[in-house]
Amino acid sequence: MPPKRKNDVAVKVEDVGMEVDAEIDSGSEDEARRRAKNRRAKPQRKAKQPSEDEEDEDEDETPRRKGRRKKTKARAKDDDEDDDDEDNRSVKSKTSKASRKKAPKDNEEDSEGEGDKKKRGKTVSKKEKEQQNKEKKGNVKGKAGQSKGGEKDKKKKNGSSSSSSGSDDESLSEGEMEALKEQVEEKKKLVATLRNKPWRMKRRLDVLKEAQDFVEKFEGALGKGKGRRLYAFKVMMAKKFIKFKRDFENFKTACIPWERKIKDVESHFGSSVASYFIFLRWMYGLNMVLFGLMFGLVILPEVLMGLPYGTIARKTVPRAEQDTAMDYSVLFDFEGYCKYSILFYGFYNNEKQIGLLKFRLPLSYLLVGVGIFGYSLMVVIRTMARNANEGGDGADEGDFTFSWKMFTSWDYLIGNPETADNKYASITTSFKESIVDEQENQKDENIHLRRFLRVLANFLILCCLGGSGYLIYFVVKRSQDFADMDNADLSWFEKNEVEFVMSLLGLVCPPLFETIAELEDYHPRIALKWQLARIFALFLGNLYTFLFALFDEVNEKLEREKIIKNETELALAHYYANYSSFYNTTDVPPPNVHPADAIRGPCWETGVGIEFVKLIVSDVQVSYLTILIGDFLRAVIVRFLNYCWCWDLEAGFPSYGEFDISGNVLGLIFNQGMIWMGAFYAPGLVGVNLLRLLSSMYYQCWAVMSCNVPHERVFKASRSNNFYMGLLLLVLFLSLLPVVYTIMTLSPSFDCGPFSGQEKMYDVVMQAIDQDLPAFIGNIFTYATNPGLIIPGVLLMVLALYYLNAVSEGYQQANTDLKKKMQAARDEEKNRRNNKDSTNQVMKDLEDLLPNKSLIPRPIEEEPPLDEIKVEKVSKPTKTKPGSSGNGVNLQKEVSLAAPNPRGPVTHGPGPRGGPPLNTRGPQPGPARGRGRGGHPRR
């Protein structure tokens, strides 16, 4: 692209170039004639003779081609003419104005024409030609528009010339400028959409260059006088902005992490496995934001502005624990110093405002805790909506079984021979399955056995679920008993029983389900859904059992806390009474007790937080160990023991592991659920999770690439993405419940955490509204919480819900109607086509009876035109089942029902019957009829 400045000059030159050229090259009679006409036309136009105008325009068209020649000359003279340009400007004769006005227009046309010619000159495919035609049309239109503009402009000029003698130095008048602007816009649009054009790159580059040159050339010419400079500035800024946007895009794509890694996985294992990693990455992004919220608004303020460790009881390790507080085993259980750190709820102080900024930490804590849910909800729903839009318009599966299999089943991302082989196999199988389906529509033998087996399988799985639920409940109960016993007496297993059992269940049950599912003999895709649902139920059951057990514990702790609270208050009262009676003063200083020795309650929130953190950590350990043993060790053994083993380990029994997508995705989802639940009680949990996801990304990527083999049946991930999101949403909702429950109903611990001293946690909000906001907002709030307002509000919402539901149902109805219509249209089309043959069978019989044979199209067997698709040779009109093609007896019904065939006029007379059929009728060979885009030559 030539530099801009120079171009500007060029534009100016060309504005006048024509004129200069004309004066020199007076031999050109076209030019002369035009000039003369122009002069002549003016007075005429003053007399208002539009017809002359038109004629003028017509003649303008003709010399256009010749004009181009001159323009090149003009370009050659760039330098001297620069001066001429100045001169001309000062002269401002009417003629010069007129021709100047004309010149740019002509130039435009020329460039267009040139482009056109260039395009035409190329050897192009049919399609391209078509495109060209369109463009040509566009050009013509553009020209028409231009000439119109020109006309307008001339008229305007008439007005101006008659009124003012010529103080204006505008080089372009309004109408012309409009036209120019339009064209420039058009070109810009072309540039923007160029990448979507199905052209060869070379052509695209050419067109781009042309368009850009054009824009460059005339953008500067737009605007006038002072406005021109402003316009140029605007254009420049627009260009800068585009450049900036592009750089920013580049930067943004460069910032997306793990792109190459995921690509590697994708090429080895297909898009389904990659979808897990993409999901993981998405989750990582979400957690980054959550962590940012938590860290920026809760943890950081407390660290920077809150009281340091050891100043008050809640921030100090109790005296009894201090000896062991730094032991690794203790820290690993998140006791000791861990327990009294910013990781957990208990550490935060209930001081209303902290630091210089008067940061309201308790309020912030509550709002962030709730905000995390709000943000997650928003993001998940938004992603779901976007995913939903992306999917096709959901045509019925049955419509295009074979076509889709044929055209979309190969995953172009596959770049690994093994995966490719599996894919070939699975495609072949699926084709064979469909063929079998097609050939014999369901011949269910022994449906009773199948049903029995399915019921049995479901029963077994229900038993498993129930058993696992009970096991967890049992273990949690037992752990509460353990908690009462002395810590030293317990073995490691006894201390970590809950987490251990939960992880073990998560490990053992899914394969068990899979084995049981073998009984059912579902289609693999359906089986996958069942499997997912079952694992989901398992996880959910486990989680909720765990939660209920936890609530038992919390209630117990609350009871205990009440007693301790009473005791402390009693002791405090005693102390005050004694102090005042001893010193005989009412000014009692607070008791001087070292924070480590203070009496403290059990702080159930921290307890819950610790449970969650431990759960997450043990989950990480178990899953990493599983990968290490189940995949890595297995792979190592299979690989190296294979040399000295009696059977083929790689192909035979243990073989290599497969990547368990459903299990991993569900694991991730439930992990996130626990984060959502636990984040309120353990602000540090989000950070821990961030680490987990980060390490998981690298670790699992490595594990997959090094020790897993692609799935036996490679399936695509396409729609399941939203399925995962749906599960995530469900889990989000389910994890929202307990947290909201605790915030709204349970009373916080009296001596730890940001809400200590409040009756309920949400009281902080109430306080903030009451005390810190202006009174009228408080009033508004009181009104808003009034039942008299809430009930109508709820009613209104219900009504809105009802209305929206009705509307959506209406849309759905319309949708199905349209679908039906489309289906009907399709069927009709098909019938027509089929009838062609079958009708002909009947017609054949009828033909002998009818006198005028020429009216009846002769029966023919479709003979494929040469340029048709090859398969056509074998494609007899379908629906004529094999065997029935000879006589159309069984198809007569269809004949009578179907609409008559659309028939073109019969151009040929009937040939001799009985001979080889000729192609005289029916769809003419060549491009598909009636379709705009036309047939594509087939070889």
Partner 1 sequence: MGNKQTIFTDEQLDAYQDCTFFTRKEILRLHGRYHELAPHLVPMDYTNEPDCKVPLSLIVNMPELKENPFRNRIVESFSEGGDGNLSFNEFVDMFSVLSEMAPRELKAIYAFKIYEDLEKTLNRLTKEELTPEEVELVCDKTIEEADLDGDNKLSFADFENMISRAPDFLSTFHIRI
Q: Give the shortest CB-255-to-partner 1 separation in angstroms.
A: 12
For residue 855, the 8-state DSSP code is G
What are 683's two structure tokens? 């602000």
Nearer to partner 1, 86 or 390 (CB): 390
Return the number of the residue (420 or 527) whose C-beta is nearest partner 1: 420
**Buried-state track 685-699, b at ≥16 Cβ within 10 A, e below 16:** bbbbbbebbeebbeb
DSSP string for residues in 210-238: HHHHHHHHHHTTSS-HHHHHHHHHHHHHH
The least distance separating partner 1 from the CB of residue 874, rounded to whole angstroms, comes to 5
At closest approach, how far in Å is the CB of 144 from partner 1? 29
Are 218 and 171 contacting, i.e. CB atoms less than 8 angstroms apart? Answer: no
Q: How far is the CB of 120 from partner 1 (least distance, A)?
A: 17
Q: Which CB atom, from 200 or from 913, has the smaller least distance to partner 1?
A: 200
In the chain, helix, strand, coil percent, each to 5? 70, 0, 25
Taking the least distance from each CB to partner 1, the nearer of 621 and 718 is: 718
CB of 271 to partner 1, least distance (A): 6
Q: How far is the CB of 398 from partner 1 (least distance, A)?
A: 9
Pick 202 or 226: Cβ nearer partner 1 = 202
268 vs 658: CA distance, rounded Å: 12
Q: Which is nearer to partner 1, 661 or 679 (CB)?
A: 661
Minimum separation from the CB atom of position 871 to partner 1 (A): 4
d(CA 671, CA 44): 86
Smaller CB separation from partner 1, 342 or 414:
414
Whether the Cβ atoms of residue 535 and residue 510 lie closer than 8 Å to each other: yes
CB of 821 to partner 1, least distance (A): 13
Closer Cβ to partner 1, 416 or 749, answer by number = 416
Half-sphere exposure for 444 (CA within 13 Å, toward CB): 6
Close Cβ partners of 618 (under 8 Å, ≥ 6 residues apart): 496, 499, 500, 502, 503
Neighbours of 384 (CB within 10 A): 17
Least distance (Å) between residue 867 CB and partner 1: 10
- Tokens coding 392: 């096709």
Residue 930 CB, shortest distance to partner 1, in Å, is 6
> Smallest distance, Å, CB 218 to partner 1?
19
Strand partners, 480: none
Tell me how far, at minimum, the Cβ of 388 lies from partner 1, in Å: 12
Q: Work out the number of other CB atoms within 10 angstroms of the CB of residue 669.
A: 21
Cα separation, 347 vs 309, in Å, equals 9
Q: Running DSSP on this structure, what letter comes out for residue 359?
A: B
- Residue of 517, 410, 507, 405 whose CA lies nearest to 461: 517
- Residue 935 near residue 926, CB atoms below 8 Å: yes
Cβ proximity to partner 1, 226 vs 881, nearer residue: 881
For residue 847, give the nearest of 916, 913, 921, 922 by alpha carbon: 913
Q: To 10 degrees, the CA torsion angle through 271, 274, 276, 281?
A: -130
Q: Which is nearer to partner 1, 158 or 401 (CB)?
A: 401
Question: Of 442 and 584, which CB lies nearer to partner 1 in the complex structure?
Answer: 442
Look at the block and give the residue holding tokens 């009174």.
775
Given the complex with partner 1, which of 58 and 861 has the nearer CB atom?
A: 861
Q: Between 233 and 400, name the residue whose CB sits nearer to partner 1.
A: 400
Shorter beta-carbon distance to partner 1: residue 585 or 878: 878
Nearest alpha carbon to residue 936 among 838, 881, 868: 868
Structure tokens at 260: 């190459």
From the CB of 875, what's the least distance to partner 1, in Å?
A: 5
Cα 78 from Cα 72, distance rounded (Å): 10
DSSP for 660-722?
A: -HHHHHHHHHHHHHHHHHHTTT-TTHHHHHHHHHHHHHHHHHHHHHHHEE--SS----TTHHH
Per-residue tokens: 248: 């920013």
Q: How far apart are CA 428 and CA 620, in angstroms?
A: 39
In the bound state with partner 1, the residue whose beta carbon lies nearer, of 850 and 869, is 869
* 675/289 Cα distance (integer angstroms): 13
Would you say 589 or 932 has its CB closer to partner 1?
932
Torsion of CA 182, 186, 191, 197, to 10 degrees: 180
Q: Give least dist CB 331 to partner 1, A.
A: 44
| Angle formed at CA 319 by CA 315 and CA 321, multiple of 5 degrees | 90
Residue 306 Cβ, how far from partner 1 at the closest point, in Å?
45
Distance, CA of 586 to CA of 396 (rounded, Å): 84
Both tokens of 856, joined, read: 């009846």
Nearest distance from C-beta of residue 197 to partner 1, angstroms? 8
For residue 833, count CB atoms less than 10 angstroms from its CB and return exposed for 0-12, middle for 13-18, buried for 19 or more. middle
